[in-house]
Amino acid sequence: MSITQYPIKGSCQCGNVTYQLLEPPLFIAACHCKECQKLSTSAFSITAMVKADSVRFAGNMKDWSRIADSGKVSAAKFCPECGNRMYHYDPDQPEQLKLKPSNLDDTSILNPSIHIWVSQKQDWYQIPEGVKVFDRQP
């Protein structure tokens, strides 16, 4: 097993937006909600919860937002060229970002320890043993 060296570089699909993750995420989550299934065009979306000051972005991004089931704003930053989602955030908690880490150069850190919104998960997907599971948002 190799030890991940930080910083880890990442970028959108076209390379217009680049970033460096300076330290390990607080945790990695797999979200199975229908919105994340649409976002990822897969069974779930992977999110790395990180401190905002642990990521350095370069390049122009656009904003998008929606009202979540909680009633709070779920905002996102994405590349205006290729449309690749870079991160989500809660405007009321700017100190944390929900990084979309599948666009990291080194994806070996992507081992979710939490699975959320499993009430909406695809029946064919089996959640690994030993992870925290939540029917909805914890």
Give the residue ranges of DSSP H helices in the chain.
34-40
43 contacts 117 by C-beta, under 8 angstroms: no
As given in the structure block, the two tokens for residue 113 are 């320890």
**Model pTM?**
0.85
Burial label for 16, CB within 10 Å (0-12, 13-18, 19+), is middle
Q: What is the pLDDT of residue 2?
A: 57
Q: What is the pLDDT of residue 41?
A: 79
- pLDDT of the chain, 138 residues: tens digit per residue: 457 789 999 999 999 999 999 999 999 999 898 887 787 878 889 999 999 999 999 999 999 988 877 778 889 999 999 999 999 999 999 999 999 999 999 998 889 999 989 998 999 999 999 999 988 888
**Residue whose pair of structure tokens reads 């990084």 in the numeric block:** 99
Q: What is the pLDDT of residue 17?
A: 98
Q: What is the pLDDT of residue 70?
A: 73
Q: What is the pLDDT of residue 59?
A: 97
CATH topology of domain 8-133: 2.170.150
Q: What is the pLDDT of residue 66?
A: 85
